[in-house]
């Protein structure tokens, strides 16, 4: 249950923090020019920030799946005690 709560919080916090950081800090710091893409226009800035937030969510989901597969008693795998019986 503890892991579920951590990843639930991360699913909320990661995209929000990423969006705000890219929108308010990274794009202005880069000067608004990202590969001839004018990110200073508010709609373009929102697009760049939104894509970064989606990537952050996908990283959280990937981390959750990786941690679930790494568990000893993951789905489809029996522990060594269960195999003996």
What DSSP line would sit under 57-74, residue for residue?
HHHHHHHHHHHHHHSTT-
Q: Is the pTM of this model over 0.85?
A: no
The pLDDT value given to residue 75 = 56
The pLDDT value given to residue 32 = 55
Quick check: helix, strand or coil at residue 73? coil
Is residue 79 scored above 90 in pLDDT?
no
């Amino acid at each position: 249950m503890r892991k579920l709560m951590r990843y639930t919080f991360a699913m909320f916090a990661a995209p929000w923090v990423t969006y705000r950081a890219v929108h308010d800090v990274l794009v202005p710091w880069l000067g608004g020019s990202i590969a001839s893409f004018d990110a200073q226009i508010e709609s373009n800035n929102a697009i760049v920030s939104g894509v970064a937030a989606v990537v952050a969510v996908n990283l959280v989901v990937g981390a959750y799946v990786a941690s679930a597969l790494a568990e000893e008693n993951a789905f489809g795998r029996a522990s060594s005690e269960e195999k003996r019986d």
